Structure 1
Amino acid sequence: MARLVMILLGVDYLRTRWRGLLWLGCVSVLLGVVAFVDALDNAIYFPMTPFAVVLLLEGLATLVVARSGIGGQRTLRQVKGVSFCFAALLILAGHHHGHFVLSMIFATLFLADGLLQIVSARVVRFRTWRLAIAVGVFEILVAIFFYQPYPTHYVGTVPYCLGLGLVFGGWNLLLLASRLRRLDHNPGMDPADAAPADTAPTLHTASDAPDLTLWDGPPGPGEHALTVHVWTPVGSARGEARRQPLVDRYIAAVDRDGVISTGHAALESPEGIYISLYPAEEIDRAPDEFTRILRATRENDVPGKFQPDYQTEARAWCPSTVQVRIRNYDPERLRRFWDAYRQDTTYNLTYRNCSSTVSHALEAALEGASARVWRQARGWRPLWRLLTTPELWVAAQIRKRAKTMAWTPGLTLDYARALSMLADPRPSGWASMTRMALGQMRRQRQDWREAAQRAEAGEAPQAGNVASAANAGSARPRGTD
């Protein structure tokens, strides 16, 4: 997550605050250790009931405002609200059963994630695959710790989880602070992609925005925006695909003839940049060869080619299945990334494919996007807003999974959707909902007053005002992605 925060806020914003991040990380790790150690005996001093009440209120509040979200944002907030409420009810239930169920859930999640990481690292063999296996083994050990009742018979489950969360979060802050202290550019980009200190980036939309810019939905058809094109495995299969839940969404689809389709991803900017990497010659994707070419090793490198533009690619194949559009991006950083990246046309199905190329390009284009949205904010507000946004944690988990496995069109699609919510934030919280409601009420009262004044003057009401008054209370954000 540290690198994702650096990408979205930019090194320039974070570098001056590295000492504060260092102290926050130390305090978080210390509190996490205290909470974990406190739960190791039966004398638990952690305020379980107040914590559960706060968790329940947060879950209910999230469910109430979830309807203001759009597409994936609404779904994410609904999942968060239900999860918080369920966990709070289990804590409030108390006794053995509630703590036992909660412990089994956490243990299963750790076990599944650890096994998935070990298996994927063993198959793909990316550069740091041994470290990924070590982390997976650690997660399995944590799962075993949650599965067995010693030493508190599951009563310490909540303090254990909270302590681990504080420790891991603090460790991320410490890593972020240490990197910021000694770096002059963003490590998430190549040095050639970092903007010179005396160069002001060219921005769109957010550069002329007030302190906080909120959009009510994705960009309109004619609006200036970056576009991520995704051909899903099922949508791009030559024949009718055999449905395999999750597999055909994130890995590959297999049609009735046994032909594998992995999908495709591309990125298009209004400035004329089109990034779409494809193997120069079709790779043999027969089932008996597919496992071999999954390895991120040099012997699987093949010559690649960049497609000229979207229209040419769509005519030669088919239109993209899904598009994600983002207003707040930096075209100059994207151009510098593209000038450096296209010098190498190597293609590798796992570590340098169409999806990884688009994801890296998207990160280059969105560097500093969150800081630009809150460009007038002082102090720690931009960092706080970013850290409390659910999409950041989703994007961080997607990025982690892609780094330990491989970027696929499905992961790139979810990653682009999460980043679009961070670069072009939508109203979501109680404060934003209150502002929207008050604005609608003010517009409705104004329309009513104008209609009353015209009625007193003997004028016919205007159709636009009548429609506005009728629909003011039912206005909904537009768009799906």
Structure 2
Amino acid sequence: MARLVMILLGVDYLRTRWRGLLWLGCVSVLLGVVAFVDALDNAIYFPMTPLAVVLLLEGLATLVVARSGIGGQRTLRQVKGLSFCLAALLILAGHHHGHFVLSMIFATLFLADGLLQIVSARVVRFRTWRLAMAVGVFEILVAIFFYQPYPTHYVGTVPYCLGLGLIFGGWNLLLLASRLRRLDHNPGMDQADAVPAETAQTLHTASDAPDLTLWDGPPEPGEHALVVHVWTPVGSARGEARRQPLVDRYIAAVDRDGVISTGHAALESPEGIYISLYPAEEIDRSPDDFTRILRATRENDVPGKFQPDYQTEARAWCPSTVQVRIRNYDPERLRRFWDAYRQDTTYNLTYRNCSSTVSHALEAALEGASARVWRQARGWRPLWRLLTTPELWVAAQIRKRAKTMAWTPGLTLDYARALSMLADPRPSGWASMTRMALGQMRRQRQDWREAAQRAEAGEDQQAGHVASAANAGSARPRGND
């Protein structure tokens, strides 16, 4: 997550605060060790009940205002609210059953993530696959620790998790501070096959950036915005795809004839930049050879080509299935990335494909986006706002999974959606969303009052017409009886 924070806030903002980040990291690691050690016996001094009450209140508040969110933001808020409420209720339930259920949940999550990381690293064989496998083994060991009752019979589950979270979070802050101390450009932009260091110099554009604010929704189709085009595996399959949950969403779809479709991703900017990497010759994606070409090794490198524009690609294939639009981006950084990246047309199905290209380009375009949004906020507020936004944690997990497996159109789509929430922020805090919800309620009540007034005015007008007609009839001269 450290690199993602550096990408979104930019080195200019973070470099002047590296000492503060260093101290925060040290304090976080220390508190995490204290919480973890405290949970190793049955005498737990951690305030469990206050923590559960805070989680419950935050979860309920998030659920109340979740309906004010838009699209994926609404779903994410609902998941967050339900998770917080469930954890709080299990903590408050206490005794053996609540702690046992929590331990099983956390252990299963660690086990699934560790196994997935080991399997994917073994199959894909990316550059640091051995380190990824070691991390996966560590996660499995943590899962075993949560599964077995020793030494507290599951009573210390919450302090264990909180301690591990503080330790890992503090370690990330320490790594971030140590990198910022000696950097003059953003390592999040450094790709071995992408941008050299001299072309990734930070641009000092925060001072002349326009004032930005919170938006109520994504950009309209005709609005000036960066567009991420995604052809999903199911949507781009030539024949009717056999539905396989999750697999056809994030990996590949297989049609009735056994042909594999992996989808596609491209990026388009209003300045005329179109980034779409595709193999120069179609790769054989039969089920027999698909496992072999998944490896991120040099023998699987093939010549690639960049498509000229979206209209040409859409006519030759089909229109993109989903589009993600982002207002707040830096066209100059995107141009510098593109000038360097397009010098190499190598294509690899795993480590240098259409999706990885779009993801790297998107990160280059959004460097410093959060700092531009909150540039009027002083001190640590931009960092705090970023760290407390749920989309940051979602984007970090997607980025981690893509780095240990491979960038796919499905992961790129979710990553672009999460980054769009960070670059073009909607009201994120429950207090802000509550104010927005109350504003909507006030506008709705005002519309109701105006409708009632119009209806009442219409009834009065109709009554006036009836009265006028009656008066006219009574004034008419009568004949002789």
Q: Could you tell me the TM-score, scaled by structure 2's length? A: 0.90
Segments ≥4 residues shifted beyond 2 Å: 190-212, 428-431, 433-481
Judge conservation of contact 2:38–2:45 (CA < 8 Å) in 1.
yes
Contact 1:443 1:472 in 2 (8 A): no
Deviation at 1:165, TM superposition (A): 0.4
Displacement, 1:433? 2.7
Residues 458 and 14 of structure 1: CA distance in aligned 2, closer, same or farther (over 3 Å): same
Preserved contact between residue 279 and residue 302 of structure 1 (Cα < 8 Å): yes
When residues 380 and 467 of structure 1 are mapped into structure 2, their CA distance, relative to the original with a 3 A threshold, is farther
Question: Offset at 1:430?
Answer: 3.0
Equivalence for 2:98: 98
For 1:345 and 1:450, locate their aligned partners in 2 and report how far apart those are by CA, in whole Å. Answer: 62
Residues 216, 201 of structure 1: CA spacing in aligned structure 2 closer, same or farther, 3 A cutoff? farther
Q: For residues 458 and 257 of structure 1, what CA distance do their matches in structure 2 show?
A: 65
8 A Cα contact 1:265 1:355, kept in partner: yes
Distance in 2 separating the partners of 1:389 and 1:136: 27
Structure 1 pair 240–180 and aligned structure 2 pair: CA distance change class (3 A): same
Q: Are 1:230 and 1:320, in contact at CA under 8 Å, matched by a contact in 2?
A: yes
1:413 Cα shift? 0.1
Contact 1:70/1:480 (<8 A) preserved = no
Q: How many Å separate the matches in 2 of 1:237 and 1:432?
A: 42
**Pair 1:280–1:82, CA change in 2 (3 A):** same
Aligned residues of 2:189 and 2:200 also touching (Cα < 8 A)? no
Question: Would you say the 8 A contact 2:195–2:341 is kept in 1?
Answer: no
Q: Deviations for 1:281-338, whole angstroms, at most 9, x for unmatched residues?
A: 0000000000000000000000000000000000000000000000000000000000
Q: Deviations over 1:69-93 (max 9, x none)?
A: 1111111111111111111111111
Q: Determine whether 1:254 maps to 2:247.
A: no
Change (3 A) 1:86 1:472: farther
Shift of the 263–394 alpha-carbon distance from structure 1 to 2, 3 Å rule, reads same
Distance 1:288 1:181 in 2: 49
SS at structure 2 position matched to 1:208? coil
Aligned mates of 2:288, 2:266 — CA distance in 1:
28
**Separation of aligned partners in 2, 1:210 and 1:327:** 12
CA separation of 1:200 and 1:118: change in aligned 2, threshold 3 A: closer
Does the CA contact (< 8 Å) of 2:233 and 2:261 recur in 1? yes
- 8 Å contact kept, 2:389–2:428: no
Stretch moving more, 170-179 or 201-210: 201-210
Structure 2: which 5+ residue stretches go unaligned?
none
- Cα distance between partner residues in 2 of 1:297 and 1:480: 113
When residues 304 and 44 of structure 1 are mapped into structure 2, their CA distance, relative to the original with a 3 A threshold, is same
CA deviations on 1:431-465 (whole Å, 9 max, x unpaired) are: 31344356557768998999999999999999999
SS of alignment partner, residue 278 of structure 1: strand
Match for residue 273 of structure 2? 273
Deviations, residues 225-262 of structure 1 (Å, cap 9, x unaligned): 00000000000000000000000000000000000000
Change (3 A) 1:197 1:111: closer
Q: Structure 1 25/257 Cα, relative in aligned 2: closer, same or farther at 3 Å? A: same
Alignment pair present for 1:220 and 2:235: no
Residues 49-85 of structure 1: per-residue CA shift (max 9 Å, x gap): 1111111111111111111111111111111111111
Alpha-carbon distance between aligned partners in 1 of 2:181 and 2:199, rounded to the nearest angstrom: 22
Structure 1 residues without counterparts, runs of 5 or longer:
none
Q: Secondary structure at the match of 1:228?
A: strand
Q: Distance in 2 between matches of 1:274 and 1:357?
A: 11
The aligned residue for residue 455 of structure 1 is: 455
Change (3 A) 1:438 1:59: closer
- Give the alignment of 1:15-414 within 5 angstroms: 15-190=15-190, 213-414=213-414
Alpha carbons of structure 1 residues 440 and 236: separation in structure 2 relative to 1, 3 Å: closer
In the alignment, is the contact (CA less than 8 A) between 2:186 and 2:200 conserved in 1? Answer: no
Instruction: Compute the displacement of 1:409 (Å).
Output: 0.1
The answer to whether the Cα contact below 8 Å between 1:330 and 1:367 also exists between their aligned partners in 2 is: yes
- Mapped to 2, the partners of 1:225 and 1:404 lie a distance apart of 30
- Greater shift, 57-66 or 182-191, is seen at 182-191
Identity of aligned residues (%): 96
Instruction: Report the count of equivalent residues.
Output: 481
Deviations 1:119-164 (CA, angstroms, capped at 9, x unpaired): 1001100000010000000000000000000000000000000000
Deviation at 1:189?
1.1
Using the alignment, how far apart are the partners of 1:111 and 1:471 within structure 2? Answer: 87
Change (3 A) 1:98 1:353: same
Question: Matched residues in 2 for 1:382 and 1:188: separation?
Answer: 19
Contact 2:113/2:136 (8 A) holds in 1: yes
Deviates more, 1:182-191 or 1:454-463: 454-463
Change (3 A) 1:79 1:349: same
Closer/same/farther in 2, CA of residues 173 and 76 from structure 1, 3 Å limit: same
Go from structure 1 to structure 2 and tell me whether the alpha carbon gap of 1:443 and 1:244 turns closer, same or farther (over 3 Å shift). closer
Report if the CA contact (8 A) 2:185-2:202 is conserved. Answer: no
- Tell me whether 210-219 or 247-256 shows the greater mean CA deviation: 210-219
Q: Is the 8 A contact 1:324 1:417 kept in 2?
A: yes
Structure 1 residues 7-26: Cα deviation after superposition (integer angstroms, max 9, x where no partner): 00000000000000000000
How far is 1:428 from its partner?
3.2
Moved more, 406-415 or 86-95: 86-95
- Post-superposition CA distance 1:336-360 (Å, at most 9, x none): 0000000000000000000000000
With over 3 angstroms needed to count, the CA separation of the structure-2 counterparts of 1:342 and 1:199, relative to structure 1, is closer
Q: In the superposition, relative to structure 1, how do residues 260 and 454 fare at CA in structure 2: closer, same or farther (>3 Å)?
A: closer
Deviations 1:340-390, CA, capped at 9 Å, x for gaps: 000000000000000000000000000000000011110000000000000
CA gap 1:268/1:425 in 2 versus in 1, 3 angstroms: same
Structure showing greater Rg:
2
Q: Distance in 2 between matches of 1:46 and 1:128?
A: 38
The 2-side partners of 1:103 and 1:475 are apart by 90
Partners of 1:388 and 1:124 lie apart in 2 by 33
Q: Distance in 2 between the 1:423 and 1:332 partners?
A: 16
- How many angstroms does 1:96 deviate by? 0.4
Partner Cα distance (2:90, 2:428) in 1: 27
Q: 1:455 and 1:310, CA in 2 relative to 1: closer, same or farther beyond 3 A?
A: closer
**3-state SS of paired residue (2:189):** coil
Distance change >3 Å, CA 282–CA 471, structure 1 → 2: farther
Residues 169/132 of structure 1: CA separation in 2 closer, same or farther (3 Å cut): same
Q: For 1:471 and 1:125, locate their aligned partners in 2 and report how far apart those are by CA, in whole Å.
A: 94
Give distance in 1, aligned partners of 2:345 and 2:109.
Answer: 39
Distance 1:477 1:285 in 2: 97
Tell me the distance in 2 between the aligned counterparts of 1:339 and 1:129: 30
Deviates more, 1:463-472 or 1:50-59: 463-472
Q: Distance in 1 between matches of 2:301 and 2:478?
A: 43
Q: Assess, with a 3 A threshold, how the Cα gap between structure 1 residues 238 and 467 changes in structure 2: closer, same or farther.
A: farther
In 2 relative to 1, CA 438–52 (structure 1 residues): closer, same or farther, beyond 3 Å? Answer: closer
